[in-house]
Amino acid sequence: MKFPYHLIELTHTLDETSPSWEENCGFSSSLILDYADCTSEASFRVQHLTMPAGMGTHMDAPSHCCPDGLSIDQIPLDKLAAPCVVIDVSQKAHELYSVTPQDIADFEKKHGLIQPNSFVIIKTGWSRFWDNPFQYRNNHNFPSVSAETATLLVSRGIVGLGIDTLSPDRLDDGYPVHRILLNSGRYIVENIANSEQLPPTGSFVMAFPLKIKQATEAPMRLIGLLP
């Protein structure tokens, strides 16, 4: 039987040059054992990874800023597979742009109301700088989301919000989007890749983080599904 969906890779590949919130990447991969070192009939390569939990395409759980919120391992599976809505602001987004309720209204006028239990991706076009970590980080100046927009999306009953930048908040604004979304039980996915390959509506996502006990953040594989 053929799988009924076309899969879209929405996850950036990690390496030692990947952009991160801090100036230093924080990701490293080292060899513990290599093929030539094996004395058994089967040869293996064994690696050791070091990285922050919030690295690359990753998920922020409610507990990231809400002490009583769900941790990564507690988020129900039925919240991690969801219909996907992609709101494209790439034609107007710049490093100081903040997505407004009017952007949501414009989207809904064309495509209909955002339905409950949707996963919303904000497509700013910033992912084009992923291979240039200095530009991608840009001293924490990148397109973001306003607090009013976050409140509106919560009222729509979304399961989570994703964006193709380091964060839906900038460093200097007090992290209102994190507080609004995570305190209401939603999750956030940051550093999304290839969102331009998804339509505004009609696709699905599978947002599966590493199931780490009591983790507030975790790296993940984010996959889009097109019927």
CA Rg value for the chain: 18
Checking DSSP bridges between strand 119-123 and strand 81-88, what pairing results, if any? parallel
Whether residue 81 is found in the same domain as residue 178:
yes
CATH number where 115 lies: 3.50.30.50
β-bridge mates for residue 193, sequence order: none
Comparing CA positions, the residue from 76, 189, 116, 100 lying closest to residue 151 is 100
For the stretch 132-137, contacts whose Cβ atoms lie closer than 8 Å and that sit 24 or more positions apart, written own/partner, are: 133/17, 133/18, 133/19, 133/20, 133/25, 136/19, 136/165, 136/166, 137/19, 137/20, 137/21, 137/23, 137/166
For each of the chain's 227 residues, which pLDDT tens digit applies? 999 999 999 999 999 999 999 888 889 999 998 998 888 889 999 999 999 999 999 999 999 999 999 999 999 999 999 999 999 999 999 999 999 999 999 999 999 999 999 999 999 999 999 999 999 999 999 999 999 999 999 999 999 999 999 999 988 889 999 999 999 999 999 999 999 999 999 999 999 999 999 999 999 999 999 99
What tokens does 191 get?
């550093």
Instruction: Tell whether 87 is covered by a domain.
Output: yes
Number of folded domains that form the chain: 2
β-bridge mates for residue 199, sequence order: none
Whether residue 33 is found in the same domain as residue 74:
no
β-bridge mates for residue 50, sequence order: 28
Exposed/middle/buried for residue 64 (C-beta within 10 Å: 0-12, 13-18, 19+): buried
Comparing CA positions, the residue from 93, 56, 98, 55 lying closest to residue 192 is 56
Instruction: Tell whether 8 is covered by a domain.
Output: no
Instruction: Tell whether 68 is covered by a domain.
Output: yes
Whether residue 102 is found in the same domain as residue 197:
yes
pTM value > 0.75 = yes
